Structure 1
């Protein structure tokens, strides 16, 4: 790609391309419409979507066994989650509300407002980053503050929309792109996509027998072991992966 220049932001650099190597496979509930995934001390916290089935779960990582669950209510469609200290923040899709849960028992102890739709959520430096399906990233309206825009996400100078599940890892924001097998790695300060990870081939379903909506969604990072986990909506498997270059790049 030929670098372009914007007088205010400087040269536009083509993102690097990566693929993956599977390091481990773990059971995952094929009835879970995964909207958000977080790792913490040997367990996953998982936000499960769909009306009438939305809930927050604590899941044993090694076995996929659901240790605890808290339904949201028939009127809510759950979306992304993030862990800040001992609190879990959970978005809803179109209900303009987010919920705050205690980590230890998943009890709901508070809520916050959402302008527009809620999609993905991640923690960065004790603060939250939210996506809403557009190319924009936000700071949600928690702690009595108003929701505010942080950055617009671009790849090679073009906007990237349908940003779904979010996860910070190694100082970068990882983002699923809905109905895509690609994950963007984003500079959270500028919104620029620094690289793409092609996860084609991970979906365990044959294309002609894939349940509706069973797409890649769910990213978790274990910082102590620097391990990266991914799964999808209605997938029976959760994968530990290593990100590797597609080709030698300079």
Structure 2
């Protein structure tokens, strides 16, 4: 499976309006949301630089600091490897705190209790680092692919590219629960990057412009955000921009940030 390496066949060239500090966009523009899925509206509040060499897999904010994790796809595609580290939100400059060996394809990450958890795609291996120095504490294993990772304050929440989401104990990595993501049409596949926001799981759906709002108790998709306009803008600005991927929530001020793999910008959005 050429996951995250082959660019989407939906790639189109479009000219979108530029986004700056005063620009706002609505999720209702250019949408094609399936009937029965509530459409959520948003406004673009701001845009910041993002490193176009970064094949973004995970994005989070912890104690006011932006963190990112990346993967390392086909060497023929320019990228800067599989790493986890801090990012200066105003400049997009990343500080690679820990880099994985080439045999590991880095994926999602999350931070809980001053520990950063970083998973891999098919190695079935995860890594735990102590903040702030990113000293590796331990490794852990799991029995599925690793795609997205977040937490609800007590459990690690992981996706594997199917419609399943797994809940693990962060200390023992004991499996606590599995939910299946479904909408009015049935199972929803390709659940990718995750972020826990105000009691709900928000998930990128791989190779689509959508972020899904998921009830963590039932797995039901209760809302959908359509970022077609920002996908088109990213690809118009940088033709090698790949899929939408990356959601970060700053719980101290309610700000939400999104980006994509090799995107030139990180966007701050406000849900309406």
TM-score when scaled to structure 2?
0.80
State the Cα distance separating 1:209 from its structure 2 match.
6.6
Write the distance in 2 (CA, Å) between the matches of 1:145 and 1:81: 15
Where does residue 59 of structure 2 map in the other structure?
37
Following the alignment from structure 2 to structure 1, what is the Cα–Cα distance between the partners of residues 173 and 62? 27
**1:131 and 1:164 in contact (8 A); partners too:** yes
Deviations 1:139-175 (A, max 9, x none): 2475334335421000115111100000011111000
Q: Alignment partner for residue 47 of structure 2, among 14, 19, 25?
A: 25
Deviation at 1:242, TM superposition (A): 1.4
Structure 1 Cα separation of the partners of residues 173 and 132 of structure 2: 26
Q: How many residues align?
A: 231
Q: Which residue, out of 27, 32, 38, partners 1:16?
A: 38
The RMSD of aligned alpha carbons is: 2.0
Comparing 109-118 with 198-207, greater Cα deviation is found at 198-207
**Unaligned stretches of 5+ residues in structure 1:** 1-12, 245-250
Quick check: 1:65 aligned with 2:93?
A: yes
3-state SS of 1:150 partner:
strand
Structure 2: segments with no counterpart, 5+ residues = 1-34, 76-80
Task: Tell me, yes or no, if the aligned pair for 1:20 and 1:199 is still in contact at 8 Å.
Answer: no
- How far apart in 2 are the matches of 1:34 and 1:209? 15
235-244 vs 217-226, greater mean Cα deviation: 235-244
Q: CA deviation at 1:45?
A: 1.0
Aligned residue for 1:214, secondary structure, equals coil
Residue 121 of structure 2 corresponds to residue 99 of structure 1: no
Conserved? CA contact 2:237–2:264, under 8 Å? no
Give me the TM-score of the superposition, normalised by structure 1. Answer: 0.86
Deviations 1:69-121 (A, max 9, x none): 21111111000111111001111000010110112012221111121200001
1:77 counterpart = 2:105: yes
Q: Is 1:46 the equivalent of 2:75?
A: no
User: How much has 1:208 moved relative to structure 2?
Assistant: 11
Deviation for aligned residue 1:233:
0.2
How far, CA to CA, are the matches of 1:199 and 1:47 in structure 2?
21
| Alignment deviations for residues 215-235 of structure 1 (CA, whole Å, 9 cap, x no partner) | 100000011110110000000
1:132 aligns with 2:132: no
Counterpart for residue 199 of structure 2 = 171
Q: Distance in 1 between matches of 2:114 and 2:198?
A: 21
* CA–CA separation in structure 1 for the residues paired with 2:107 and 2:203: 14
1:201 is paired with a residue whose SS is helix
**Whole-Å Cα distance in 2 between the matches of residues 237 and 222 of structure 1?**
18
Q: Which structure carries more strand by proportion?
A: 1
